Amino acid sequence: MIYSQLKQIIPLQIALTVLLLSSCEGDVDELEAEYSTDQVTSSNAPQLNETFEVGKPSNVNEKVYMHYLAWFGEGIGGRHWTDGTVSEPLIGYYDSQSWATHLYHILLSAAVGIDGAVINVRTEYDQQSFEKFIESIKRIDAIYPDFEYDISLSTDDQDATINSVTQRFSNIRDSIIPNTTHYLYKNGEPVIFIWDYAGNVSPQEYRNIANNVFYGSPVLLKNEIDVNAVPGQFVMNSYYPWIQGWASDGSEWGQTYLNWFYNTKIDFQLNNKVEFVTGAVWPGFDDRNVVWGQNRWIDRRGGQTYTDTWSFINNSFTGDIDWVILETWNDFNEGSELEPTTTDNYQYLGLTATHIASYKGEPSLIDSEQWMFKAAIKIYEAAKLIEDGDRDCSVFHPILEDAIEHYLKTNGQEAHDLAEQIILG
């Protein structure tokens, strides 16, 4: 079956599973009937927006995706947190398989204009987290069926073999795509990212596997340019830059590399070596605290490094970059995270919202008082209490859904206050 046709029947399959999404026993509608939103609406609340804005379908061609790590286990002693980090997440050392974590990351990233997550998968744990992330987004679909947010897999080349790549691609075809309306497509074909670590599988082998598994020609993107690319073959449909620039004092942030990369990619497009141009931005890098570190450091310079990498896209090559990859949302081990931290709070999300608004030519959804940031934190805290069984799901899950609905309508303060009521019990 052609996969563009398969997408047309998926919504019916998804609709049949919606009632299973609540963490409570019983029907979601019945639970909502037990609780009236009038009981929790603040008497002094500001005038509320009645239309969905976060994740609203858009005709803008420019897209922004975040590179996402799904390998963490809960607590400071949890999986991968023990390997060493530079900063601590603002919500604490979270679990990558928690639906509360997923809701927080999806809502917050969508609010600043990010179009979806490219989830890095290397291990079985990563794969499980990827599949649970897809299940978690259905909680938002149940509230806003038109919620637009793409999910793609980035296959990590470490330890890869032809057999393991074939199995991973087959899993996307057989288990992932039939179970979601959110898998990323371009021109009717599924999109897969390749993070080439050691060249264990060649670009041509990836292309052969993808075409055989999907009975078509999936869109493949790989980090770093293949300078030997042949016009018209499109072994890779696009390439994206990856974090570069190392100096002992942290001053080298990749300026020379990015200038070469974009000029080369645009030349590739003109000469039919790639189908579209993908860029990337990063706030910094620091692997000096992680167990596998190589003493590499790119100084964040108080946000200037992030602004400078965005400047290539919004100033130097305006209109030439089709997609942008944020590197990264949450690689705390190597210090390239944009996610809020106890050190920088919401600084990098504020910058992200501003830069994306400029890139897409659309207004930012973030209010001046940053209720959309504060509400996302509260929604996470409330959801985690329900997920952990510390709040009665039959009572509080409907309130959580109301909070999420208000968040999606950019009623940040109302969403914050509803979530706070769950927290207070």
User: pLDDT (tens digit, 9 = 90+) per residue, 277-304?
Assistant: 999 999 999 999 999 999 999 999 999 9
Of residues 27 and 337, more confidently modeled: 337
Query: Over pLDDT 90: what percentage of the chain?
Result: 86
What pLDDT was estimated at residue 6? Answer: 45
What pLDDT was estimated at residue 235? Answer: 96
Q: State yes or no: pLDDT of 20 exceeds 60.
A: no
What pLDDT was estimated at residue 24? Answer: 64
Confidence label for 200 from pLDDT (cuts 50, 70 and 90): confident
Residue 154 and residue 123 share a domain = yes
Q: State yes or no: pLDDT of 169 exceeds 80.
A: yes
pTM: 0.91
Of the candidates 351, 366, 381, which is a domain's last residue? Answer: 366
Domain assignment present for residue 21? The answer is: no
Domain assignment present for residue 143? The answer is: yes
What pLDDT was estimated at residue 373? Answer: 98
Domain assignment present for residue 42? The answer is: no
Domain of 412 in residue numbering reads as 372-424
Residue 241 and residue 186 share a domain = yes
Residue 152 and residue 181 share a domain = yes
Q: State yes or no: pLDDT of 32 exceeds 60.
A: no
Is residue 122 within 8 Å of 79, Cβ to Cβ?
Answer: no
Domain assignment present for residue 127? The answer is: yes
| Total domains present in the chain | 2
Q: State yes or no: pLDDT of 29 exceeds 80.
A: no
What pLDDT was estimated at residue 199? Answer: 76
Of the candidates 347, 366, 385, which is a domain's last residue? Answer: 366
Residue 418 and residue 317 share a domain = no
Residue 356 and residue 212 share a domain = yes
Residue 76 and residue 205 share a domain = yes
Residue 130 and residue 210 share a domain = yes
Q: Residue 308's domain is classified under what CATH number?
A: 3.20.20.80
pLDDT (mean) for 85-99: 97
What pLDDT was estimated at residue 135? Answer: 97
Residue 215 and residue 158 share a domain = yes
Domain assignment present for residue 16? The answer is: no
Domain assignment present for residue 88? The answer is: yes
pLDDT (mean) for 202-208: 95
Of the candidates 366, 390, 406, which is a domain's last residue? Answer: 366
Residue 284 and residue 166 share a domain = yes
Residue 335 and residue 218 share a domain = yes
pLDDT (mean) for 262-282: 96
| Per-residue pLDDT tens digits for 301-313 | 999 999 999 999 9
pLDDT (mean) for 23-28: 46
Domain assignment present for residue 47? The answer is: no
Residue 378 and residue 360 share a domain = no
Domain assignment present for residue 257? The answer is: yes
Kindly tell me the burial class for residue 92, based on how many C-beta atoms sit within 10 Å of its own C-beta (0-12, 13-18, 19 or more): middle
Residue 106 and residue 185 share a domain = yes
